[in-house]
Structure 1
């Protein structure tokens, strides 16, 4: 069985954060829609997770 960490999940995007900066040990979780934006005129934000985080929604990449 594959490692069940975020970095090995089909819903993990590892190349950009919400502010388009490269992340060396983290990425975005694309399982759920973006979370609430900080103000009405701002965009929603994808949850930032570490490569070795995990959750119950893991799906092998």
Structure 2
């Protein structure tokens, strides 16, 4: 996969903090889809964590 269409180049990739207020090395959050629910009823949803070199079919250079 070309580096130009990987998550770190996508408009929906957020690279500064991954769900825990800790900086995740080479990882970030995918903001395209909604947060994923957790098994416990009172747990909050979490954004999907992806690596900078991941890719998917939702890649976009700009937010639509």
- What CA distance in whole angstroms lies between the structure 1 residues aligned with 2:7 and 2:43? 27
Dislocated runs of 4+, deviation >6 Å = none
Which whole-Å CA distance do the structure 1 matches of 2:22 and 2:38 have between them? 18
Gap runs ≥5 in structure 1: none
Gap regions ≥5 residues in structure 2: none
Structure 1: distance between partners of 2:39 and 2:21: 17
Q: How many equivalent residue pairs?
A: 60
Aligned partners of 2:34 and 2:12: how far apart in 1?
11
CA RMSD of aligned residues (A): 1.3
Deviates more, 1:37-46 or 1:4-13: 37-46
Corresponding residue number in structure 1 for 2:34: 33
Q: Higher helix fraction: Structure 1 or Structure 2?
A: 2
- In the other structure, the counterpart of 1:13 is 14
Give me the TM-score of the superposition, normalised by structure 2: 0.87
